[in-house]
Structure 1
């Protein structure tokens, strides 16, 4: 508590506290959403989980609020623009920013992967089926799909910020048009045309974060500023909702913004026009609540709570499905794992104790692994390098991020029941650790001259 008070007291007056609140709320909603819609059953005598959404069609419109990944990319864009601008204001470079930015993201992720790999190795050595080990680890690493996209977006932040400075809000408009083209590929072919939406959709939302950051400086050109008025918020909310209703009723898009087994399209994988319409409505709601939320965050209690969650926000996100695995395994071992039918009275009654028990397990995991994230410090400044050294550091930084993305992507694409003694494909783990090691080397100052 003392540290939280100190951090709260040192908050700069101009900080947009609402961004921190939104980040904390977004991750909290992701965690609660995943836990709430999880249905547990038995498959060949073993516990198995699946999404309950297929059995709850009445709940699909609720996913318009529950799908909060756009919020995370929006606040990510704001935070990345703010930190990159501050870095350049101190005379730093985009490469230095990129290298330093990796620390907060990579250390908690590396911890998760190493712990899972070690646990899988022990289980395999004790005679566990490698295919079953892989299934468990695959489920635990589902959150990493998000980091695949976010690592790419972070890597592209410097050039996308340059495009924003030149073209402003025209950039997300073009990106939305590319998403529409990808959707045509999904509907009419070729389906591979939609693969670019994994990048274009999230980049479009991330660019709006740049525009929000510029909106705090009235001297910035209007084409670069996101309108923050309540009128603009109402227009975005209504316009987004109207577009979303039309796209999911008259149009071909599913109502649910989360994956539903059996649906022809998945609005989130890759992001679709319908998901961007939902993101527009969410942005409108965010703007409408911005001022009252800002006043509320001026109180010490709410602001300290926001700081506390943000200190371990990635840890919470990364470990929340591992918490579910541990709880399911424990209840199954004790012979008391409830498996009521989805939608039944028993299933609904089990939701509250289920969430509370998961919260306890996750709190224990955060207590153990949260310090890895919370104690991540900004690396010491390094001296300027010559032109050749700068080019080498830039190449190495991009290569490091590319290796991270390749490793996480290989894991996500690998079959969930493939026999993997480490739970993770060895090439995926090697690629990821190579990227993490390369970025760690650069953060230590290698290639700089002081």
Structure 2
């Protein structure tokens, strides 16, 4: 294995994959797919109107459950851990921040561009075929829900290089500064509600920063009692804020736009990840678990982006048939959830086979394949404009088409021109070692 060079301003990156992080991300993805299959419940009313109910989210007993199972912060913690290590590996070989952002944007938006194009084409055809516009709008808005996560995750990754530099100089001060920004936005959101959406950046960047701290936790070496104390303290503070009426106790309500409660959950989940790491490592080291997690990890973004559109499409198609539609929350509805989940998985298999390859693998740093900074910035703008529009105004069929065009433009701006790879010494005489070969590089998150 090629020795790792030390990046300026930080400790040497970890040389191997972390099976615990892979397992954590697999758990997050599985829980999201299962959770959504128990939430989506379109209803066709006698007057012909169509609405959508969040059956699971509307249950009062579910609030304390989602407090434990709201794992979106854990995903950003894991993204911070692997993202920091990936950036340090790239930076140690002379890679620039723009090249890092180019790779992250390209890997994420390439599968998303295809999804938006397929959705726009399919829903437009359905509209022309005479499907009720209400059904089309319901499918459009429901299927587009995962895109908020894509925008938030891209924003966090876009800011990762300079936040990593601040972390290298003053990790706790950087986290404190981001936390202060989160609290400031929460305090002002009552006066100017649109300000709340700034926390789509501040909250998730702060949670990502927790991942940086976990990645460097070998230097801190917190004991098990300290980690348990952090979990208790963060949840106690969160409970106090809810009891005082400052925040809702429903973590689904707190998710979009996010607020301080998600950061406190992130603190608790980051500590839990370290506290239970030995047990998780034993589970993740089982051969069959490694194979399952590795297989799912290759297509994690494809699964995440497509599972809800497929679920919404399946539910919408059922509304057009005489298939029994039990009312949401009834015993018959709950008994049908396992069948719904099996159907979604069955629909995902051909989609993954067709589009999973678009996620690709990270490529070694090569200055010849890097894009100009202006192209990377323009691509970022092309991605964020429709995403922000969807956050504020909701996703419509027209915006779906515009978003597909913007994402396609971003892919064109970012895509590397294929080149015949020859030994580096033959091109420039340089002797820099290449990046590690897979599976090491496959630990880079989408």
Query: Normalised by the shorter chain, which TM-score bucket?
Result: 0.7 to 0.9
* 1:76 alignment partner in structure 2: 79
The count of corresponding residues between Structure 1 and Structure 2 is 408
Superposition pairs for residues 216-295 of structure 1, below 5 Å? 216=218, 218=219, 227-259=221-253, 267-295=254-282
Contact 1:172 1:203 in 2 (8 A): no
* 2:304 alignment partner in structure 1: 317
Where do 5+ consecutive residues of structure 1 fail to align?
Answer: 1-11, 260-266
* 2:94 alignment partner in structure 1: 91
Residue 395 (structure 1) aligned with residue 374 (structure 2) = yes
* 2:327 alignment partner in structure 1: 340
* CA RMSD, Structure 1 to Structure 2 (Å): 2.6
Contact 1:404 1:433 in 2 (8 A): no
CA distance in 2, matches of 1:193, 1:96: 31
Deviation at 1:18, TM superposition (A): 0.9
Residue 382 (structure 1) aligned with residue 366 (structure 2) = yes
The secondary structure found in structure 2 opposite 1:57 is coil
Distance change in 2, residues 1:28/1:102 (3 Å):
same
Contact 2:57 2:252 in 1 (8 A): no
Distance change in 2, residues 1:40/1:426 (3 Å):
closer
* 1:200 alignment partner in structure 2: 202
Distance change in 2, residues 1:73/1:54 (3 Å):
closer
Deviation at 1:287, TM superposition (A): 1.7
Contact 2:21 2:78 in 1 (8 A): yes
The secondary structure found in structure 1 opposite 2:399 is coil
Distance change in 2, residues 1:368/1:337 (3 Å):
farther
Residue 363 (structure 1) aligned with residue 349 (structure 2) = yes
Contact 1:77 1:206 in 2 (8 A): yes
CA distance in 2, matches of 1:78, 1:13: 13
CA distance in 1, matches of 2:193, 2:344: 38
CA distance in 1, matches of 2:160, 2:336: 44
More off after superposition, 145-154 vs 376-385 = 376-385
2:213 to 194, 207, 211: 211
Taking structure 2 as the reference length, the TM-score comes to: 0.83
Deviation at 1:395, TM superposition (A): 2.6
Deviation at 1:245, TM superposition (A): 1.3
CA distance in 1, matches of 2:106, 2:192: 39
Kindly provide the CA deviation profile for residues 333-365 of structure 1, in whole angstroms up to 9, marking residues without a partner as x.
4411423242x3223222332323333223343
Deviation at 1:285, TM superposition (A): 1.9
Distance change in 2, residues 1:132/1:352 (3 Å):
closer
CA distance in 1, matches of 2:41, 2:107: 33
Distance change in 2, residues 1:134/1:87 (3 Å):
same
Distance change in 2, residues 1:341/1:430 (3 Å):
closer
The secondary structure found in structure 1 opposite 2:205 is helix
More off after superposition, 295-304 vs 68-77 = 295-304
Contact 2:116 2:400 in 1 (8 A): no
* 1:144 alignment partner in structure 2: 147
CA distance in 1, matches of 2:173, 2:419: 38
CA distance in 1, matches of 2:328, 2:103: 48
Contact 1:379 1:443 in 2 (8 A): no
CA distance in 2, matches of 1:329, 1:271: 29
Distance change in 2, residues 1:18/1:276 (3 Å):
same
Deviation at 1:148, TM superposition (A): 0.8
More off after superposition, 315-324 vs 100-109 = 100-109
* 2:30 alignment partner in structure 1: 28
Distance change in 2, residues 1:299/1:13 (3 Å):
farther
Contact 1:237 1:284 in 2 (8 A): yes
Distance change in 2, residues 1:196/1:299 (3 Å):
same
Residue 435 (structure 1) aligned with residue 410 (structure 2) = yes
Kindly provide the CA deviation profile for residues 45-78 of structure 1, in whole angstroms up to 9, marking residues without a partner as x.
3654221246411110111122211111111111
Distance change in 2, residues 1:382/1:114 (3 Å):
same
CA distance in 2, matches of 1:322, 1:444: 36
Contact 1:142 1:412 in 2 (8 A): no
